[in-house]
Amino acid sequence: MHKYFLTFLLLSVSATFFGQTGVVKGRVFNHKNNEPVPFVNIIIDGKPTQGTTSDIDGNYSITKVSPGFTRLVASSVGFKKFISDDFLVTNSKTTDIDIGLDEQIITLEQVTIKPSVVERNEEVPVSLQKLTIQEIERSPGSNRDISKVIQSLPGVASSPSFRNDVIVRGGGPGENRFNLDGVEIPYLNHFSTLTLNGLVTKNSSLIFSVRRSYLQLLFSALKLPFLPTYNDYQFKYKIDLDKRNQISVISIGALDNNKLNTGIANPDAFQRYILQSLPVNDQWSYVFGLVYRHFRARGYDTWVVSRNMLNNDQIKYTNNVEMPDSLLFRYNSQETENKLRYEGLTDLVKWKITYGAGLEDAKYANKMNNLLDQFSPRLSASYAFVPDKFFLNFNMGRYYQLPAYTSLGFRSNNGALVNDSLGIKYISADHVVLGLEYQPDTKTKISLEGFGKFYANYPFSIRDSVALASKGTDFGAVGDEPLLPLSNGRAYGFEVLVRNADFFKFNVILTYTFVRSEFTTFTGDYIPSAWDNRHLINVTVGRKFKGNWEIGAKWRFAGGQPYTPWDMDKSGLVTAWNAQGRGYLD
């Protein structure tokens, strides 16, 4: 049975007032070898008379720039045209924008540069979507939360409870990866309050932000049963050792505390249920990464060393009344990963070769005794029926992913790794994508893509005969139970995208996705997974008016996920209920 929900218009209106102008400066360099590029023409997008030319060292500076969001356009013979991402100019500080140009062998009498919202990537011709900082800032109802911003894109669904999990093409949130300047970030959350940004020395810059939420005050006022407090920081320090070598140090960390609101006077039945069933939870995490990049004459090498750690503490008493004989459980869980990755690029004029390797050390052995067992070939191709306008795109590949650490590390009472003995292994997924893309002009993109994902070795619960693909929609740990790698799965459908940056002066994104997500039961029959939304529709519009006023609106339709009914007989047993403080699924 499906239930369907409509999320109606989320409106966001903003106005920014500025009284003075700003300065934009930076360095123009060859993206391949970091060499400075002199005598490059650089203008403010839409203002051809406001610009400058880079000097012999590639440096440039543009003064008297109107505050607000803008872009740079750079052109030089022998290089591809460059259009920067949107950035914000203010009168309080200089805006630093470095420009990396790609070489291009051309023989033309005249070059015309037109800013385009549509960008094609040679290495990724299919299913690539790019958002500018301006689109992130203007996304209605998202409050700069990137996981909510991308829910306006085709194929992206949200999980229940309005959490910021990202569901892509019928796959669970555990399939996704997030990277910040090459460093993998395991978790993406929290709210910004204070940011420092500026030059430390002539060749180095620093970004540092501290964040804290005060949701516990709002939740307390609303008499909600739990009181969350989130704290975190972000840090990035970049050093240009010389024109051939760069180092970046990146770190983020978080401290989350969740307490029960035991001060509610005369709680109702729902509040009592939550207060009695939720554990008290504290969690901290951090990521630290060092990125070193060396530029060669015809390419570059990138080395990334990183470490991430997650610590989770939970304690639970019967009915959450703290008494010596009412303790149900107290546990600590930790996940730690140390990673080393190398990526290289060599430009042979007509051919571009990319290559790399990676090592990962984790607390749990991953049983990867033979690299060929996880061999993951991929192939992408694109054919232009009409140059720069009509494309046929294709992609296929095989991917492998470790099960969750909660599954790998689940132990019996005598300390044995249960799922290791049950043969748990890497989850495999074969992806196929075929699409048509039409770009009638530089501000419009229309695409139709069909996709299929086919899973094998998916963890299957012995306890309730359900694949883990149908779990994870609630708050709490998933996979800490006996599992067999027996389930197969499939997610398939199609997406339609219409994107126009100037539809009667409105920026418009329209998407429709049809998706089915199914996994096998112990009998081998396919049933819908928790991510089987079927239909996803998104409409996002925005417009900028005079006086730096902006208005935006978002409308979203998501088919509700299927659900599993309660086992009423088992849930009605007092001893069974007291064991976990809630009912049991059938």
Q: For residues 445 and 499, is the Cβ–Cβ distance under 8 A?
A: yes
Q: Write the pLDDT tens digit of every residue in 165-192.
A: 778 888 887 788 888 888 887 766 655 5
Q: Write the pLDDT tens digit of every residue in 193-235.
A: 666 666 677 788 888 888 888 778 888 888 888 888 888 888 8
Query: Is residue 155 pLDDT above 90, yes or no?
Result: no
Q: What is the CATH number of domain 20-101?
A: 2.60.40.1120
What mean pLDDT is predicted for residues 308-323?
A: 82
Distance from C-alpha of 514 to C-alpha of 310, rounded to nearest angstrom = 36
Q: Locate the domains of the chain by residue range.
A: 20-101, 125-176+369-586, 186-363
Q: What is the pLDDT of residue 4?
A: 40
Specify the range with the lowest mean pLDDT, choosing from 438-447, 473-482, 508-517: 473-482
The percent of residues above 90 in pLDDT, for the chain, comes to: 22
What is the overall mean pLDDT for the chain? Answer: 82
Q: What is the pLDDT of residue 198?
A: 65
Query: Is residue 477 pLDDT above 70, yes or no?
Result: no
Q: What is the pLDDT of residue 162?
A: 56
Q: Between 472 and 347, where is the model more confident?
A: 347
Q: What is the pLDDT of residue 35?
A: 86
* Long-range contacts from 172-180, C-beta under 8 angstroms, 24+ separation: 172/468, 172/469, 172/472, 172/529, 172/530, 172/531, 173/472, 174/401, 174/404, 174/472, 175/401, 175/429, 180/250, 180/252, 180/289
Q: What is the pLDDT of residue 448?
A: 94
Q: Between 260 and 15, where is the model more confident?
A: 260
- The burial class, CB within 10 Å (0-12 / 13-18 / 19+), for 386 is exposed
Q: Which of 96-110, 139-153, 297-311 has the highest mean pLDDT?
A: 297-311
Specify the range with the lowest mean pLDDT, choosing from 28-37, 266-275, 549-558: 266-275
Q: What is the pLDDT of residue 342?
A: 95
What mean pLDDT is predicted for residues 7-35?
A: 66
Q: Between 232 and 16, where is the model more confident?
A: 232
Q: Write the pLDDT tens digit of every residue in 446-462.
A: 999 999 999 999 998 88
Q: How confident is the model at residue 108 (pLDDT cuts 50, 70, 90)?
A: very low
Q: Between 465 and 339, where is the model more confident?
A: 339
Q: Between 421 and 279, where is the model more confident?
A: 421
Specify the range with the lowest mean pLDDT, choosing from 140-149, 298-307, 439-448: 140-149
What mean pLDDT is predicted for residues 256-271?
A: 84
